[in-house]
């Protein structure tokens, strides 16, 4: 049986591999993207254990094998853990300002798609000052804000 610690360690390795892949999209030396794009389409193929990145013309621009994803789902129904890992990486890169590079034209979106490019989930949407992240990442935010506001109001009494 795999422990939570082993799963967390595995997830960090996956995040590091995928982070390198995404950083290569806009690297200064040899960027994988040679023209501005408005959309990136991500396919998580859990049969093959691979993440594929397509540009807004449905051209494959990069891929990365993630062996721990093999046989955990399909390309049309990826494993929850794989989706969560990709979602977390997109959010971390947004927090670091990665998506503000010129190669990511506005409006810009990142979508998780099936083999036929139908959308499973919109992971990120940027349009000038508007940033919309995947809803599951924001779950519980209202409760946290209510608690914070309640504590703040208590301090003012």
Domain that holds residue 55: 4-130
In a domain, 8, yes or no: yes
User: Is residue 33, in this structure, part of any structural domain at all?
Assistant: yes
**Does some domain include residue 64?**
yes
Tens of pLDDT along 17-49? 999 999 999 998 889 999 999 999 999 999 999
Number of domains in the chain: 1
> Own/partner pairs for 13-16, CB < 8 Å, 24+ apart?
14/66, 14/68, 14/69, 14/85, 15/85, 15/88, 15/89, 15/92
Query: In this structure, is residue 120 part of a structural domain?
Result: yes
Kindly report the pTM of this predicted structure.
Answer: 0.77
The DSSP letter of residue 57 is T
In whole angstroms, what is the distance from residue 107 CA to residue 90 CA? 16
**56-84 tens-digit pLDDT:** 999 999 999 999 999 999 999 999 999 99
Q: Judge whether 153 lies within some domain.
A: no
Whether 38 is covered by a domain: the verdict is yes
> Could you tell me if residue 24 is inside a domain?
yes
Domain assignment of residue 147, yes or no = no
């Amino acid at each position: 049986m795999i422990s939570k610690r082993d799963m967390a360690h595995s997830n960090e390795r996956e995040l590091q591999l995928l982070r390198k892949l995404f950083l290569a999209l806009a690297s200064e030396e040899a960027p994988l993207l040679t023209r501005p794009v408005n959309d990136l389409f991500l396919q998580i193929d859990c049969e093959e254990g691979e993440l594929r990145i397509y540009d807004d013309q449905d051209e494959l621009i990069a891929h990365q094998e993630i062996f721990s994803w093999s046989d955990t789902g399909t390309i049309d129904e990826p494993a929850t853990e794989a989706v969560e890992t990709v979602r977390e990486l997109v959010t971390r890169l947004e927090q670091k300002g990665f998506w503000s590079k010129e190669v990511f034209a506005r409006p810009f979106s990142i979508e998780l798609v099936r083999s036929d490019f139908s959308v499973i989930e919109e992971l990120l949407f940027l349009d000038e000052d508007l940033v919309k992240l995947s809803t599951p990442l924001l779950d519980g935010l209202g409760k946290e804000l209510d608690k914070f506001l309640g504590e703040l109001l208590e301090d003012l009494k």
